[in-house]
Amino acid sequence: MAMKSFILLIPILIVIFVGTQAEAQLPPTTAGASFNISGIVLCSTDSSVYNVATPTPPFPNATVQLLCDGNVIASTTTSESGGFSFLVRLQATLTTVLASCKVDVVTPLSACNATLPSTSPSLEASLRATIQSSVTTSKIITSPFQVMGSL
């Protein structure tokens, strides 16, 4: 009798174990999650245009800011290759972060190319995609940077 009870208990334990493991693979959707937001800033007024014959150079040493609902959440400087990354913990869901946050370049474009404007407008990019999620962090990339306003 004890053996039958044990045999019946094994499938139940497997279902419970597998169910908790599957739940742990879900991306963070509750408030209070960590987000790794990254991108590349190019030295151009329109980073959405890429020409293989004459590639747009990166924008090194540019100050970029992560803004959510108009508030600066974090600031960093781009690498020599124009790359940047923010690792932030926000009291917001992934959906809210994608909808209400953006990345601005506050360094004038003339810092990377003297023929480009030295005043505002700045470059701006929205957050567009989750490329990978783990139990603790969602990785998000930016859309291409574009000039906001008029030149």
* Spans of all domains in the chain: 28-147
**Which sign does the torsion angle of CA 11, 13, 17, 22 carry?**
positive
The listed CATH number (2.40.50, 3.90.79, 3.30.70, 2.60.40) that belongs to domain 28-147: 2.60.40
Tens of pLDDT, residue by residue over 83-100, are 999 999 988 888 889 999
The string of DSSP codes covering 20-80 is HHHHHTS---SSSEEEEEEEE-BSSSBTT---SSSPPPB-TT-EEEEEETTEEEEEEE--T
pLDDT at residue number 118 = 83
Please give the structure tokens belonging to residue 20. 């908790």
Question: Percent of the chain at pLDDT above 90?
Answer: 42
Confidence class of residue 125 from pLDDT cuts 50, 70 and 90? Answer: very high
Question: Looking at the predicted structure, is the pLDDT value of residue 151 above 90?
Answer: no
Residue 140 CB-half CA count within 13 A: 29
Q: What is the dihedral of CA 89, 90, 94, 97, to 10 degrees?
A: -120
Question: Looking at the predicted structure, is the pLDDT value of residue 8 above 90?
Answer: no
> What three-state secondary structure class fits 12?
helix
- Global pTM reads 0.73
Kind of pairing, strands 71-77 and 83-90? unpaired
Confidence class of residue 3 from pLDDT cuts 50, 70 and 90? Answer: very low
pLDDT at residue number 10 = 42
Tens of pLDDT, residue by residue over 24-69, are 333 444 567 889 999 999 998 876 555 667 788 999 999 999 999 9
